[in-house]
Amino acid sequence: MNKYDVVIIGSGHNALIAAAYLTRAGRSVLVLEKNDRPGGFVRTEELTLPGFKHDVYSAAHPLFLTGPAYADFREELEKRGLRYINTDLPTGVSMESGETAVFGRSVEELTAEAERLMPGDGAALGRIFESFAPYTGDVFQLFNLDLSTHPASNIIEKLLGGSGSNKRGYSEFAASLYSTARNAVSGLKSPVTRAMLASWVTHLGRTPDEVGSGIWVPLTALALLGGGMPIPEGGSEKLAEALSRLIQDQGGTIITGTQAEQIVVKNGKAVAVRTAGGEQYEAKHAVIASTGPDQLYLSLLAEAEVSPVIRGQAQRFRYGRGCVQIHLALREAPQWPDARFNRIGQPHLTDGLDGFTQAIAQGMADLLPAKPTFTVDCPTNLDPTRAPAGQAIMRIQVLEVPCRPRGDAAGLIDVGDGSWTPELTERFAERVIAVVGQHIPNVPDVIIGKYVVTPDTIARFNPNSGPGDPYGGAHDLAQSYLFRPLPSQPSHRSEIPNVYMLGAATWPGHGINGGSGYIVAQQLLASDKHGAS
């Protein structure tokens, strides 16, 4: 009864996608989850008041909708209750000055908006897309490949190499890998357009002045053009629910409330997973761990024979800064001065790129930012089922917040020992909501309920977040691409040959993209075919 082809530790969406592929291929699969239900950060709850359905952690799924897993399973997931609602305005920006901009779903609309804000910027934005166009197809293909494989290596070599008469040099794409988001938008004159485009790199675990962030400006823009800002009707967790039903309908097993404690290794291969409750589940072919490398090598494989080099690198795996999410129940919809924002997905509220990076710098110094900048989203604008009739919900997402603040950049909040106490949480939430009120006139008057997720909340819920990093480990250049999850393991295959890793700590990183789930599933199915032949 406790024997399976594959045992999966953790049930984030990547783990569920891998399980969906494996069970569809006839493999017996067990998914072990420590929480009360599967899904990881894909979770919807009535946090504030009855009838107000908030996405506790992640919300929109643009990268998933443009990936292969959704294409492969769309019909089956829709049969099990998953329905996406999208918008023609995925994002935008509201400036402290009152200026606004929206991001349309076509290059023509986007360049027209840039031109409206500053003559000449439409052409400048067009040049950004044109310069990236020769590399677009190859870059997006890499999101579905393990970067350590030969197919990926061939694409990387092609992307980095020179062309034409410059065979000995490197491509413009190679240079852009070391650029910054600020540099990427420097050809635009409008501070509004610059803020709208460059700010999104923080949602990829990077900062606008960080080496390596530049390439993510056109990448994010193209992803938003292609995917929009889709949300599941009824809440983000509908994705996890549909995947879970699909896995079980295909013969898979999901056990919740069960903490995996050890991967049992014999003769150099994983043979079972032991839980904290003493149960042992045998794995005939493989174990998949939806964890960070520190948890894998220092905890789950603590008793296995692992090289000192890779264990040392796991000990040095770094986490990024934290996130504060403020969930609001509103008695009426937000009254945006720009009516276009009534159908927008997730805009930034900011005083510009300089103010944005100043707030980030304060967070990097472990200080609460004096003037936070952030995104807001109001899902009820697109999905009125998420709140009682005529009422609304809003999520405010403040990134790059210290997990354990040592001070306040404004000198007004006593942070104590850095723990996110109720008092500290309330004071910081008040500061953030005051900024929202500068952009939306009926806030805070219409707030009837509030719930705040802090870095401490995130850390308690998901050990993949370390001290409260929602992105599963720092994404700076030294811990990205072929250095992720570890320099000695630039892939999803661990030092134990039949133990695989997936999730935010592996390529292509965090976010609801399904990439690592797809990659690991294809590797396992390919190895099974090879073994059978």
Structure tokens at 220: 């994010």
- CA 111 – CA 113 distance, rounded (Å): 5
**Within the chain, which residue ranges are assigned CATH 3.50.50.60?**
3-40+236-316+473-532
Torsion of CA 496, 502, 508, 510, to 10 degrees: -140
Do 114 and 193 form a contact (C-beta atoms < 8 A)? yes
Q: Looking at residue 167, what is its pLDDT? A: 66
Q: Which residues touch 69 (CB under 8 Å, ≥6 apart)?
A: 17, 20, 21, 514, 517, 518
* CA dihedral sign of residues 291, 293, 295, 299: positive
Query: Cα–Cα distance between 201 and 195 in angstroms, integer?
Result: 11
Please calculate the CA angle 488-489-495 and round it to the nearest 5 degrees: 100
- For the four alpha carbons of 513, 516, 520 and 523, in that order, the dihedral sign comes to positive
291-302 burial by CB neighbour count: b if 16+ within 10 A, else e?
bbbbbbbebbbe
| Rounded Cα distance, 423 and 417, in Å | 12
The structure tokens 């090598």 sit at: 297
Q: Summarize pLDDT for 374-423 with one digit per residue, the tens.
A: 999 999 999 999 999 999 999 999 999 999 999 999 999 999 999 999 99
- Phi and psi torsions of 240, nearest 5°: -65, -40
SS3 sequence of 514-530? CHHHHHHHHHHHHHHHH
- Residue 489 has phi, psi (to 5 degrees) of -140, 75
Digitized pLDDT (tens) for each residue of the chain, 533 residues in all? 799 999 999 999 999 999 999 999 999 999 999 999 999 999 999 999 999 999 999 999 999 999 999 999 999 999 999 999 999 999 999 999 999 999 999 999 999 999 999 999 999 999 999 999 999 999 999 999 999 999 999 999 999 986 655 567 899 999 999 999 999 999 999 999 999 999 999 999 999 999 999 999 999 999 999 999 999 999 999 999 999 999 999 999 999 999 999 999 999 999 999 999 999 999 999 999 999 999 999 999 999 999 999 999 999 999 999 999 999 999 999 999 999 999 999 999 999 999 999 999 999 999 999 999 999 999 999 999 999 999 999 999 999 999 999 999 999 999 999 999 999 999 999 999 999 999 999 999 999 999 999 999 999 999 999 999 999 999 999 999 999 999 999 999 999 999 999 999 999 999 999 999 999 999 999 987 654 43
For CATH 3.90.660, the residue range(s) in the chain are: 84-104+228-233+319-471
3-state secondary structure 130-176: HHHHHHHHHHHHHCCCCCCCHHHHHHHHHHHECCCCCCCCECHHHHH
84-104+228-233+319-471 has CATH 2.60.40 classification: no
The answer regarding whether domain 3-40+236-316+473-532 maps to CATH 3.30.420.10 reads no
Residue 452 three-state SS:
strand
- Give the number of other Cβ atoms within 10 Å of residue 112's Cβ: 14
* Sign of the four-CA dihedral 498, 503, 504, 510: positive
Which tokens in the block code for residue 223?
Answer: 């992803």
Are 472 and 502 in contact by the 8 Å Cβ rule? The answer is no
Q: Six-digit token pair at 161?
A: 């190499």
Q: How many CB atoms are closer than 10 A to CB 251?
A: 12
Q: Using CA atoms, how far apart are residues 355 and 371, in angstroms rounded to an integer?
A: 8
User: What contacts 401, CB < 8 A, 6 or more positions away?
Assistant: 321, 322, 323, 324, 363, 368, 369, 372, 455
Best CA proximity match to 377, nearest among 358, 398, 397, 406: 397
